[in-house]
């Protein structure tokens, strides 16, 4: 199937991303199949929109302004039931207005709850997660942040995760 | 996103990456092997050009501002040679 992953990017961004992708080593893709029916699975969400609750530490936009090669590699927990009134989006590479007027655009917890009500999935996880989408140097993201998110999910007995690139 | 997805998958939690929640269930239930693509019926309502132009009134990301000031750094971004945080900018 031919898929144009770069369809919505401008020319320069497309060229840069294609160049980065071409340098990626071809390695085995980890795959974990579902171990029970989806209607029994607790599902958690991960968004790259840089969502942080108003009462939580903001993502570091100032650090990125000082050093545009850097992106905040940390993550934030977004409790189930959080609405657009309770958060701000900090990713400076997306239009935050859509997510800040309807959080489901980037972190669809309400849709998840509806799917549970309809009997399609099990209960939504109590906690969901957000990271920044722009991180050129991913060492800390891969070695610290992602394992920490996975650990939280395992501790909460999450059965499946849906990731939403912003 | 893929880098994070890989780590979560390794920890024993099945994952999907997508942007439309109604399609979540079909993608999760259909993917039977790594690197599976599931063709969904959703069609984005805007053209790529319309989508890009819709956010023209927003401040440009810092890396774009920097590259406009110092266009010779684009080669560095293209080649993936990300400067050390201490000497960047």
Mean of the per-residue pLDDT values of chain A? 92
Residue B72 placed within a domain: no
8 Å CB contact of B85 and A69? yes
Global pTM reads 0.86
- Residues 18-57 of chain B with CB under 8 A from chain A are 18-19, 21-22, 24-25, 28-29, 32-35, 37, 39, 44, 48, 51-52, 54-55
Residue B78 placed within a domain: no
Separation in Å, CA of A7 to nearest CA in chain B? 7
| CB proximity list for B79: less than 8 A, separation 6 or greater | A19
Give the residue numbers spanning the domain of B17: 1-43
Mean pLDDT, range B33-43, rounded to an integer = 72
Instruction: Note whether A31 and B33 are within 8 A (CB).
Output: yes
- Assigned token pair, B28: 């999760």
A70 in contact with chain B, both atoms CB, cutoff 8 A: yes
- Residues 72-91 of chain A with CB under 8 A from chain B are none
CA distance A85 to A81: 11
Domain count, chain B: 1
Residue B76 placed within a domain: no
Residue B36 placed within a domain: yes
What pLDDT, in 10s, does the model give residues A128-141?
Answer: 999 999 999 999 99
Model confidence at A112, pLDDT cuts 50, 70, 90, reads very high
Task: Confirm whether the ipTM is greater than 0.90.
Answer: no
Separation in Å, CA of A79 to nearest CA in chain B? 18
| CB proximity list for A11: less than 8 A, separation 6 or greater | none
CA distance A32 to A24: 22
Residue B4 placed within a domain: yes
Lowest-confidence region among A122-136, A138-152, B16-30, B72-86: B16-30
């Amino acid at each position: 199937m031919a898929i144009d992953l770069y369809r919505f990017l401008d020319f320069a961004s497309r060229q840069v991303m294609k160049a980065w992708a071409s340098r990626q080593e071809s390695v085995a893709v980890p795959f974990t199949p579902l171990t029970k029916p989806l209607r029994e699975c607790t599902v958690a969400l991960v968004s790259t929109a840089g969502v942080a609750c108003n009462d939580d530490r903001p993502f570091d936009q100032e650090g990125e302004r000082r050093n545009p090669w850097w992106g905040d590699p940390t993550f934030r927990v977004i409790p189930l039931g959080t609405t657009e009134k309770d958060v701000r989006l900090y990713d400076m590479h997306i239009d935050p207005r859509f997510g800040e007027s309807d959080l489901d655009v980037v972190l669809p917890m309400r849709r998840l709850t509806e799917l549970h009500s309809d009997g399609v999935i099990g209960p939504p996880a109590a906690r969901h997660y957000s990271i920044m989408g722009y991180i050129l140097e991913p060492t800390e993201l891969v070695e610290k942040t992602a394992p920490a998110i996975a650990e939280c999910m395992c501790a909460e007995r999450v059965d499946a995760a849906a990731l939403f690139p912003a | 996103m893929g880098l994070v997805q890989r780590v979560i998958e390794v920890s024993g939690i099945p994952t999907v990456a997508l942007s439309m929640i109604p399609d979540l269930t079909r993608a999760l239930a259909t993917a039977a092997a790594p690197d599976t693509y599931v063709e969904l019926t959703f069609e984005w309502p805007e053209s790529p050009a319309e989508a890009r132009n819709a956010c023209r009134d927003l401040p440009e990301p810092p890396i774009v501002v920097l590259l406009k000031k110092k266009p010779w750094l684009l080669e560095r971004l293209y080649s993936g040679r990300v400067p050390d945080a201490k000497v960047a900018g």
